[in-house]
Amino acid sequence: MTEQTHTKRVFSGIKPSGGLTLGNYLGAIKRFVDTQDSGVETLYCVVDLHAITVWQDPAQLRYATRELVAAYVAAGLDPAKSILFNQSQVSAHAELGWLFNCVARMGWMNRMTQFKDKAGKNAEKVSLGLYAYPSLMAADILVYHATHVPVGEDQKQHVELTRDIAAKFNNDFGVPGFFPMPEPVIEGPATRVMNLRDATKKMSKSGESDMERINMTDDAETIAKKFKKARTDPDGIPGEVKGLDGRPEARNLVDIYAALSAQSVEAVVAEYAGAGWGAFKPALAELAVAKLAPISTEMARLMQAPDELDRILGQGAERAAAIATPNLHKAYDIVGFVRSR
Ligand code: AQP
């Protein structure tokens, strides 16, 4: 079989597993919006099948799914331009995911650091789905033959595994280039927004304390309080970027400022050189409120019309399935499944 070429197509997703954080906004949503007008087809998914790899209350899952599509739209994604949908409405994801469970090797999965972090000492008790998560993520990307995947730093290993799965499938079945080798797109100063109380950990929706994260829906007072209480060191903003080396808490706050203000870290350090946290933290809070408040206000408005949000997801799912289903069927034919036509 001759090698296939693939036109550029962007896919990414977020789990509806709770309130969205500033990490999700800067590491994912804001960057999705930035790519929307690049002239390339973009698909942004609410990955509900991934959310249930850990327990989700059904009513809360429905709420978080609608809240996430509301966040996409409120942040600037246009459902007429980007395909916005939830994963469970396009069954090809789960179907290709099963094929990939039979392609991926146990040894590969055992190396996934996110599974180790999430399972912790509890590896015997977590769901099989949590273990197989990266194989389903490979299917999410490859069912669209997507070539570019904007993600935060924490997802890089999963996109690399996706490449391994694509390569093994193409090689095992003698179909060079059938699946593309997708590229993780990890750019900007906030690809890893850290926990405000412990900057060795990333900011997560499901972290234990609400004080460790900024939620996209936090009000101005809460945002100011959380930044004020964020752990820092006694030194303020250094005169040069290298003065942030070995200071993860300081680096995190400066990175957040840079990402929110669309400036380089160098520019932020130059502007605040010598300032103490007492001056920097209120400026950071003000900036975060200026960026997040219009989005959260619009999210609240959109959440008043759940039928409209469901309609966006349904129409997106139809458009997504129109790409995914033929690709799945080709994969089924390659594998040797008999399909009645
Ligand atoms: N702290 C972060 N900094 C930068 N990017 C981040 N992302 C998540 N946290 C940060 C990026 O957001 C996208 C969607 O992530 P997800 O919700 O699907 O999964 P996650 O990475 O497991 O996010 P959370 O917040 O940690 O969720 P929970 O706590 O439910 O597991 C991805 O592109 C991710 O890189």
List pLDDT tens digits, range 240-271: 999 999 999 999 999 999 999 999 999 999 99
pTM of the model: 0.95
Mean pLDDT of the chain: 96
List pLDDT tens digits, range 199-209: 999 999 988 89
Respond yes or no: is residue 226 known to be catalytic: no
List pLDDT tens digits, range 32-46: 999 998 899 999 999
10 closest CA partner among 228, 184, 222, 192: 184
Confidence at residue 2, expressed as pLDDT on a 0 to 100 scale:
59
Confidence at residue 330, expressed as pLDDT on a 0 to 100 scale:
98
Residue 1: is its pLDDT beyond 70? no
> Which of 25, 130, 155, 194 most suits a substitution to test ligand 1, by most atoms within 8 Å of the C-beta?
155
Going from the Cα of 204 to the center of ligand 1, the distance in angstroms, rounded, reads 6
Respond yes or no: is residue 118 known to be catalytic: yes
Q: Residues 8, 156, 205, 225: which is the catalytic one?
A: 205
**CA separation for the pair 158, 19 (Å, rounded):** 23
Q: Residues 15, 202, 281, 291: which is the catalytic one?
A: 202
Going from the Cα of 6 to the center of ligand 1, the distance in angstroms, rounded, reads 28
What dihedral do alpha carbons 316, 322, 327, 330 form, nearest 10°?
A: 150
**CA separation for the pair 145, 178 (Å, rounded):** 8
| Topology (CATH) of 9-191+305-335 | Rossmann fold (3.40.50)
Residue ID of nearest Cα to ligand 1 atom 15: 14
**CA separation for the pair 81, 42 (Å, rounded):** 8
3-state secondary structure 40-80: CEEEEEECHHHHCCCCCCHHHHHHHHHHHHHHHHHHCCCCC
Confidence at residue 190, expressed as pLDDT on a 0 to 100 scale:
84
**CA separation for the pair 161, 164 (Å, rounded):** 5
Q: Which CATH superfamily is domain 210-301 in?
A: Tyrosyl-Transfer RNA Synthetase (1.10.240.10)
The ligand 1 atom at the shortest distance from the C-alpha of residue 17 is 30
- Ligand 1 pocket by Cβ (under 6 Å): 14-15, 17-18, 21, 23-24, 27-28, 151-152, 154-155, 191-193, 202-206
Domain boundaries, the chain: 9-191+305-335, 210-301
**CA separation for the pair 103, 93 (Å, rounded):** 15
Residue 113: is its pLDDT beyond 60? yes
List pLDDT tens digits, range 3-33: 678 999 999 999 999 899 999 999 999 999 9
Going from the Cα of 220 to the center of ligand 1, the distance in angstroms, rounded, reads 23
**CA separation for the pair 61, 128 (Å, rounded):** 20
Q: How confident is the model at residue 120 (pLDDT cuts 50, 70, 90)?
A: confident
The ligand 1 atom at the shortest distance from the C-alpha of residue 51 is 30
CA distances (Å), 331 to each of 96, 119, 131, 169, 207, in order? 8, 32, 23, 9, 38
> Which of 20, 26, 55, 154 most suits a substitution to test ligand 1, by most atoms within 8 Å of the C-beta?
154
Taking the CB of residue 327, how many other CB atoms lie within 10 A of it? 17
List pLDDT tens digits, range 301-332: 999 999 999 999 999 999 999 999 999 999 99
**CA separation for the pair 168, 297 (Å, rounded):** 46
- At 185, list the tokens: 């797109």
* pLDDT-above-70 percentage for the chain: 99
**CA separation for the pair 165, 36 (Å, rounded):** 27
List pLDDT tens digits, range 150-189: 998 999 999 999 999 999 999 999 999 999 999 999 987 7
Q: What is the mean pLDDT of residues 67-87?
A: 98
Rg (CA), the chain: 21
Respond yes or no: is residue 201 known to be catalytic: no
The ligand 1 atom at the shortest distance from the C-alpha of residue 21 is 25
The ligand 1 atom at the shortest distance from the C-alpha of residue 50 is 18
